[in-house]
Amino acid sequence: MEKSDLKSKIELLVIGGSAGSFNVLLALIPKLKTPINFAIIVVLHRKSGSTTSISEVFNLKTEINVFECEDKDPIIAGNIYFAPADYHLLIENDHTFSLDYSEKMNYSRPSIDVTFKVAADLYGDKMAAILLSGANSDGAEGLLYVNQKNGTTIVQDPVSSEIDTMPKEALKLFKPDFIANVDEIIAAINNF
């Protein structure tokens, strides 16, 4: 993937994943070039009530500041933000986070679809979205929506996915800009 392959300079990258994605993130985040000129939001399906702070785990693995999103936090380029467990992660017009406790979507809260869609409405062609390994269809419709708003879309190659359901569901809906293994995803992010 060459820089010229990308639709435009991005301001926001949203990564969604479920079962099998944590290990991808452990491989990916430490290999990101610093500083990054855009914000990264990660929406990961995980159990509510987890006592381990996901941001603490990743802060030990990168020079990039990693945070767990809090309501009304501003989105700042150069940071990585994780959606908190058991809340949908929304983005307001003033580029701050909003946490929502409405019903689960695709059996999930946070829902990848929800965050992909609100981000696409706000950022359009200035965003990229990556859908990783997972065991349900969450993220597929949201990724299609990102594509319709002219954002850059990447799906983890089902062959390299620990659980290939989520990538395959996205591929049933449309042809993303890139289908990539983990090393190719890292290279793509470093080219943004």
**Which of the residues are catalytic?**
18, 45, 138
118's tokens: 């609100």
Distance from C-alpha of 80 to C-alpha of 58, rounded to nearest angstrom: 9
40's tokens: 């990264």
Nearest CA to 136 out of 108, 157, 174 is that of 108
Nearest CA to 130 out of 156, 158, 97, 165 is that of 156
162's tokens: 């620990």
| CA 109 to mean position of chain CA atoms | 14
- How many Cβ atoms are within 10 Å of 100's Cβ, its own excluded? 15
Catalogue the long-range contacts made by 72-75 (C-beta closer than 8 Å, 24 or more residues apart): 72/96, 72/97, 72/98, 73/97, 75/12, 75/39, 75/41
